[in-house]
Structure 1
């Protein structure tokens, strides 16, 4: 999701709910503690320089149980960040404290904002010698006429 899409969804909802990948919700008293621009300039393991730019916001909660972030207040925070972000087309990365700081992509299911897990990956598989994964259709392997115990086919 990018910033423009987030703003559109915030204009449609009455309350802001964030759902973790396991289906639990962030406590209703969460805060958006910062909105920022992340510039990442790096070299991958194959020696290729890469650049990424994302909008980032951090969710946090503490014991102030009466706090509620209304969609209009969240929109106001995003409007204040326009000078820093520079574009509504930036993809969003969300940080939320778990055992360590978790980083998530952001989705929306029509009602709740979804924190979508992010995963590491090799960006230079061909240079690193990482084998390509091949999808095998299991039904093609199951040929009862040719497969015998000890025959090496199963």
Structure 2
């Protein structure tokens, strides 16, 4: 989800509480705070020697141990005001992907994508998820999408590509 799309969603549901589902049926506790917003520019080179650049907005969620018994989640309105204040101090790239950084004692620190959202009664649920790593240069490096089906046909090509003198890896 783009940053602007997320802000539009919050604007539409200002009267609700904001909850995050970080894994199937696992939710960020009501004692969460928005502790940091990162405006990230990623500059990368993939294994096919292709350069790329993009921006990301990363919102960090943290559960306060001092508020462990808290039962009411942050309102969408409060979250929106925090994010607007950040935008005044440091402008957003509204076309950048928005991610949420989160962890707890049972879940490793991860940057999670917005997969979907749903509303129920007075609640807005943001459904987060991980995205698996991938090779961006599959075609260039001769790595087929279905590697099991094509392994024998491409084994020599992949080995040549990934050799010290190859163009990939």
TM-score range, shorter-chain basis? 0.7 to 0.9
Task: Give 1:5's aligned residue.
Answer: 5
Distance in 2 between the 1:115 and 1:132 partners?
25
Distance in 2 separating the partners of 1:78 and 1:48: 34
8 Å Cα contact 2:3/2:94 also seen in 1? yes
Match of 2:86 among 74, 81, 85: 81
- Cα distance between partner residues in 1 of 2:97 and 2:40: 10
CA distance in 2, matches of 1:105, 1:85: 21
Unaligned runs of 5+ in 2: 150-169
The partner residue of 1:131 within 144, 155, 162 is 144
CA RMSD of aligned residues (A): 2.3
**1:108 pairs with one of 101, 117, 136:** 117
- TM-score normalised by length of structure 2: 0.71
Q: Is contact 1:103–1:118 with CA below 8 Å preserved after alignment?
A: no
In the alignment, the residues of structure 2 paired with residue 103 and residue 56 of structure 1 have an alpha-carbon distance, to the nearest angstrom, of 8
Q: Secondary structure at the match of 1:33?
A: strand
Kept after mapping to 1: 8 A contact 2:19/2:73: no
State the aligned residue count: 136
Q: Give the structure with the larger helix fraction.
A: 2
Compute the TM-score of the two structures, normalised by the length of structure 1.
Answer: 0.77
Measure how far apart 1:68 and its partner are: 4.2
More strand by share: 2
Structure 1 residue 133: Cα displacement: 1.9
Question: Of residues 49, 52, 57 in structure 2, which corresponds to 1:50?
Answer: 52
1:47 CA drift (Å) = 0.1
SS across alignment from 2:30: coil
Deviation at 1:21, TM superposition (A): 2.4
Q: Which is greater in Rg?
A: 1
User: For 2:81, what is the secondary structure of its paired residue?
Assistant: helix
Q: Is the 8 A contact 2:35 2:60 kept in 1?
A: yes
